[in-house]
Amino acid sequence: MSIIRITALAFLSFGTGACGVLPWNFSPRGEKYHYTYALKMSAEDNPAVTRDQARMLFQDENLNIQFFFDDAAIHFRLRNLSGANLNLDLARSYISIDQRAHPVCHSLNFYSDTIVRPAILSLPPQGYTDEYVAPRENIYFDGSKWREKDLFPSIDRNSDTLRQVIQRHVGKSIAVGFPVVVGQTERSYVFEFQVTAVAQIPWENHQPPKRSPPPPQKPSGIFTLDQVTTGIVVAGLLGFSAYLLTLSKDTPADIK
């Protein structure tokens, strides 16, 4: 019996039901889940503050900001409502998961493996911008492609244990913190969200986000084999040329 046939029989035997038939919707990846979030209220809000929990919208005298989530990132639209310039420091911003704060990456360096460059979102009065952030260590290059780790696990890998872990995320919190300067005054804005529901969805209903800008082919600092080979050859030729120059300098002129 061929190896391919043995492998196929083993796969069909694994995970089948009493009738020996895989479910029609079986996926080797497992089931996919969608998280629903709500903006949490705060007792520190003054009367000028508006919070819409379901729409995840916040507004005060300085700004209006609305959020939405994908599996790996938090998106927001920020509008400056003040009469002065508004600056948001992304390099000092963070996402807090399970009480641990993570530095963020953003659209300017989402797929970068280099040291994060300072990034300031600067908005004039009534100006607005769209941006997204994710924990910096969750976006990485695995040697062949870019990977995005979910904020919370969203695939159960056909594991009952992982399925239960995912369902237990209902009620969990995640927060994002932004240092904001309006005019000459700096204030720290912290927005906390709660998972209100986790629902299983068909894979065909899952739409992976399209990042802007899109991921590069490979991160900076990663070289192809051809580039490495060329570098070795060039370095070898330069080294050999230097060696010949050394010989010509050290050889006495009167030697015939």
Would you kindly state where each structural domain of the chain is located, as residue ranges?
27-205
Residues of the chain with pLDDT under 70: 1-26, 113-118, 219-256
Model pLDDT, residue 29 = 86
Q: How many CA atoms lie within 13 A of 93 on its CB side?
A: 31
Whole-structure pTM value:
0.76
